[in-house]
Structure 1
Amino acid sequence: MLIASLIFAISISGVADTTELVPAGEEALTIDLELDGYVNGYMDRDRMMTYAGCTLERDAAYTYALLMEAAARDGVYLEPIDCYRTYNEQKAAYNRRCPYTDTPVYDRDPITGEQYQVGSKSIRVCTGPPTARPGYSNHGWGRAVDFSDGRGELGCRDRAFIWLQSNAQRFGWVHPPWAHCGRSTQEPWHWEYASLIEANLLPVLRLDSDLVAVVE
């Protein structure tokens, strides 16, 4: 598994101070876990670690601990409110956010043109911030954290969020594009572990997913 090994070696092993390290992507790195046979929401216990009450995949947990220590040194309070989610936890969250609702079904009278109800159907109606379908959340890989500053979920103008914007990438953590402030799907509290890689090797990772699957 060349790609996964490359990322792991660069992000975890010692690298010269002069080497520029950047996040390996704009969202959570999951290809290494997928190639190793892990399943979203069913991560092996041996692959997980817990730091200060937040359970994550071990590589993510290590860098998360460094990030939290750096924030504390800078006087910034960060608190995890959601870390790893099992499949059943993802399912429960999705059902809460997107419950089934009975919706009327109408037809039109061909003579009068008037609409009339012919029955109803049950469809999911989602409210609030988007929630991934069970098995598709990056929380299910143990590589996503939702943060609070102790007063509730982070807002786009909160000091802790601004600190994360300036510092999280040093530890391989990113704010995915879909969650950016100003978007209808904004979630300033949601951050993901993308890993670190040498800047000059970043193009290696920008491959078609079908090609990556072959390099095993």
Structure 2
Amino acid sequence: MLTETPLWPELPTPHQAPSSPRARRAAERRARRGRRTRWVVVAVVLGLGSVSGGAYALGLFDPAPVAAESSSAVVDAQAAADDAATLREQLAVEVKAAQSVLEGPDGQAAPKAERQALDTALDDARRLMTALDGATWSPSGTEQQATALLGQVGTLRADARAAADALREATRLVVESGRQLRLERAMTGLEDARAGLRESVAVGEQAVAESAQSAGVPDLEGLRAALDQAADLDAQAGALLEKAAAAQTAATGTAASAPPQDGAAAQGSAVPELLAQAGKLATALATTTAQVEDATATVLATTPDEAVEVEAEAAEDPADAAAGDPDTGADAGTAGTDTTAGTCPEPDQVWTAENGHLSSSELASIPFSPGHYVRADVVGGLAELNEAYAAEFGVSMTINSSYRTYAQQESLYDPSSKTAAPPGCSNHGTGLAIDIGGGVQAFGSAQYEWLKANAEAYGWVHPPFAEPSGRNPEPWHWQSVQAPNSY
């Protein structure tokens, strides 16, 4: 029978104590061996504990340092990924602002070089945004991947700052150059409107002088009031032109001597207000010009002796009045001219009885130039053409002349000059022609060339007679494709 050897030998119980001396000595020897065995076991156990404790104290068995190192790398990588996302959002804000400028009035008016530079900066920024989108981190990534991400984000961070700086600088240049050109064009349009007003005022003042000794001249007081209004607007236009010139000089000087942001601030504070004032004033000048012309035409066309006759003619059918006396073929409205009713001096001119006698229901006000009218069925295309023009140049077209009544055309016609067609022969009298300023009045200007390339798509053209090689070169004269002739 097998017996188990106890780990700790048991001492004999008192009732098992040997009786002989030899037996007692043997028992004592066994007891001493047992005590030594127990102490050896205890010492081994205690020694192992001491060694184990020291090992843990030295970090030999403790996994904490390895876990701490891995956790730190993960935290750094995740923070870098968060930083990349923030940089991407900030760059997206810069891109949106720059794109808005490029598509706005300043961007549309800016020179091609500045626009292309901003386009390039936008492309660079968008590519960088894509790279930042790819800088992501997963907690399951390796330490090597974390190290690579930290290096990637460090590079992208520097690139993002450079891209944002380049984007802001390119945007600033577009704003400054675009506003400068918009201001120049607006002032050119204002000068043209002012010149047109002064021409009308000169004719009006002459009409007042000639009628000063007459009594009961229709609309004479209205003409005087319009002339007073014109004088006030002329003074306002002069003051605004001086302000614009000063602003342009200051902007040029600032750009040459001060940091870029100071020049942008100077432009940003002055130019928009000047543009707004110029637009309002140009409209007021055009409206007053039309009022002066209308009043002048009435005064010039009517004398006290003819007043009753004019009232009687107004009650007649316009076509009958325009047709004149069938026995003589003379047009009642062309007295004092060399034109016979039904004929025009140039082969490309067509006389019509309705010319200059359109009713108000046939006409429509030009939306962007109050006081000027064209035929109602062509005003829509003209308005759309102006929208495209304004998108390109940052300002609406300047209309110096549009529909003219028979009396107005008669007051402008000079048989010795080709500038104005005889009454009944001008497309202005059909409501299908306009005269444009704002740079268009010069062959080869950016505005003229743009209209040459784009106006026909909206139903408006520059007729052959008005071309540089035509019989009467007039860059400002444009007309609807529905015009019955080339004049």
For residues 481 and 391 of structure 2, what CA distance do their matches in structure 1 show?
23
2-structure distance, mates of 1:125, 1:140: 20
Alignment correspondent of 1:83: 402
Which protein has greater RCO, CA pairs closer than 8 Å, 6+ apart?
Answer: 1
Deviations 1:5-54 (A, max 9, x none): xxxxxxxxxxxxxxxxxxxxxx99x9xxx7xxx71100010111002222
Partner letter of residue 427 of structure 2? N
Q: Which residue of 2 aligns with 1:139?
A: 428
Superposed CA offset, 1:82-133 (max 9, x none) = 0000000000010xxx2xxxxxxxxxxxxxxxxxxxxxxxxx432xx53210
Counterpart residue number, 1:176: 463
Q: 1:47 aligns with which of 357, 362, 371?
A: 362
Q: Structure 1 CA distance, aligned partners of 2:459 and 2:444?
A: 22
CA RMSD of aligned residues (A): 2.8
Match of 1:156 among 443, 456, 460: 443
Pick one of 112, 125, 132 that aligns with 2:416. 125
The residue that corresponds to 1:118 in the other structure is none
For normalisation by structure 2, the TM-score amounts to 0.26
Residue matched to 1:62:
380
Q: Distance in 1 between matches of 2:471 and 2:354?
A: 29
CA distance in 1 between counterparts of 2:360 and 2:463 reads 26
Q: Does 1:71 align with 2:389?
A: yes
Whose strand proportion is higher, 1 or 2?
Answer: 1
2:408 is paired with a residue whose SS is helix
Superposed structure 1 runs of 4+ greater than 4 Å apart = none
Distance 1:137 1:190, change over 3 A: same
* Higher helix proportion (structure 1 or 2): 2
> In the aligned structure 2, how far is the partner of 1:39 from the partner of 1:194?
18
Which residues of structure 2 form unaligned runs of 5+? 1-347, 483-487
Q: For 1:190 and 1:181, how far apart are their aligned partners in 2? A: 12
Q: Secondary structure at the match of 2:468?
A: coil
Gaps of 5+ in 1: 1-26, 99-123, 196-216
Contact 1:155 1:188 in 2 (8 A): yes
CA positional deviation for 1:182:
3.2
State the TM-score, normalizing by the size of structure 1: 0.56
Is the 1:76–1:160 Cα contact (8 Å) retained in structure 2? no
CA drift at 1:183: 3.3
Question: For 1:184 and 1:178, how far apart are their aligned partners in 2?
Answer: 5
Q: Percent identity?
A: 31
Aligned residue for 1:74, secondary structure, equals helix
Largest Rg, 1 or 2: 2
Deviations 1:162-182 (A, max 9, x none): 110000000110111000023
Secondary structure of 2:393's match? coil
3-state SS of the aligned residue for 1:56? Answer: strand
Match of 1:160, SS? helix
Q: Partners of 2:459 and 2:478 in 1: how far apart? A: 10
CA distance in 2, matches of 1:182, 1:158: 17
